[in-house]
Structure 1
Amino acid sequence: MEQHYVRRSGRVILADAEDRILLIAYRGNLDPLYWITPGGGIDAAESPAAAAARELGEETGVRISAAELGAQVATASGHLDIPGWLSGMFREDYFFHRLGTAGAALDTTGLLEYESRSIVEYRWWRRDELAGTDQTVYPLGLIELLDGLLAGRTPAEPVTLPWR
């Protein structure tokens, strides 16, 4: 029996030429601050890769096609209760993309109003910074996944990451 998800998302683990990863500091109405990869909800009849590419463009101004993302590298799913919005099973599908330059000029003009209110900061993180932070970073297990991705190894099958 196929799992019913109340929300599916496509997300991008975005690396630059210096092996830094772009994360977004996010704070919802009642949430403490946490860091996430660019991405968001899948629209009707949209593939996870198409949603990830679209959301990357909207949230950062980095425009790429779903085909440029390549194969899905990871997934995470589990129950989440966001009061006043959604409650149930969520699933996030992750893709990896490396920019050919160090960092990128970010354009946030494509953000939705609630995103503009909730996003606190954008930051390029080095692996050692991520490994040493005491701040909450999603997806859990990102560091272990990064080791292979930054070395140019794409998993044969998407890795299942722990849920929140």
Structure 2
Amino acid sequence: MTTSTPPLREAARAVVLDADDRVLLLRYDESGGFWATPGGSLEEGEDHATATFRELGEEFGIGEKAVELGAQLAERSKDHLVGGREVRQVEKYFLTRVSAADVDPARASQPDNIREHRW
């Protein structure tokens, strides 16, 4: 029996801190619910930094000018289910700073099954 390698899915995630150095976490309503940092997969031709800005805009309506993008903090690879399909996800994590007042899920254009958020 041969095993196949799942398709590669590149993702960008934001470790979001506010002025009090609180970390923003989201609870996604997928696979029974789980907590994670904001982010998602790269679109065609997009780099990780651009995807980080886009994802924060989609999930919270935060404009690029309201986000202070810092250094890449980490990278990890994991097998992950997306829409019931297994993928090998490679995630790059970026330090970002935003004002807590700018985080408003009601402004999200693509809430991605986000159930709640907490600092």
TM tier relative to shorter chain: 0.7 to 0.9
Q: Is the 8 A contact 2:6 2:86 kept in 1?
A: no
Structure 2 vs 1, CA of residues 79 and 107 (structure 1 numbering), >3 Å: closer, same or farther?
closer
**Hey, what does 1:153 align to over in structure 2?**
none
* Structure-1 separation of matches of 2:80 and 2:6: 13
Q: CA RMSD in A?
A: 2.5
**Hey, what does 1:158 align to over in structure 2?**
none
Kindly state the Cα deviation for residue 70 of structure 1 after the two structures are TM-superposed: 3.2
Greater relative contact order (Cα < 8 A, sep 6+): 2
**Hey, what does 1:91 align to over in structure 2?**
90
Q: Which runs of 5+ in 1 are unaligned?
A: 125-164
TM-score scaled to structure 1, two decimals?
A: 0.60
Structure with greater strand share of residues: 2
| Number of equivalenced pairs | 113
**Could you tell me which amino acid in structure 2 is paired with residue 47 of structure 1?**
D
**Could you tell me which amino acid in structure 1 is paired with residue 46 of structure 2?**
E
Q: Which runs of 5+ in 2 are unaligned?
A: none
Structure 2 vs 1, CA of residues 98 and 24 (structure 1 numbering), >3 Å: closer, same or farther?
same
Q: Percent identity?
A: 36
Q: Is the 8 A contact 1:58 1:108 kept in 2?
A: no
Moved over 4 A (4+): none
**Residue 117 (structure 2) pairs with residue 119 (structure 1):** no
Structure with greater helix share of residues: 1
**Could you tell me which amino acid in structure 1 is paired with residue 109 of structure 2?**
L
Kindly state the Cα deviation for residue 108 of structure 1 after the two structures are TM-superposed: 3.7
Q: Is the 8 A contact 2:72 2:95 kept in 1?
A: yes
- What SS does the corresponding residue of 2:24 show, helix, strand or coil? strand
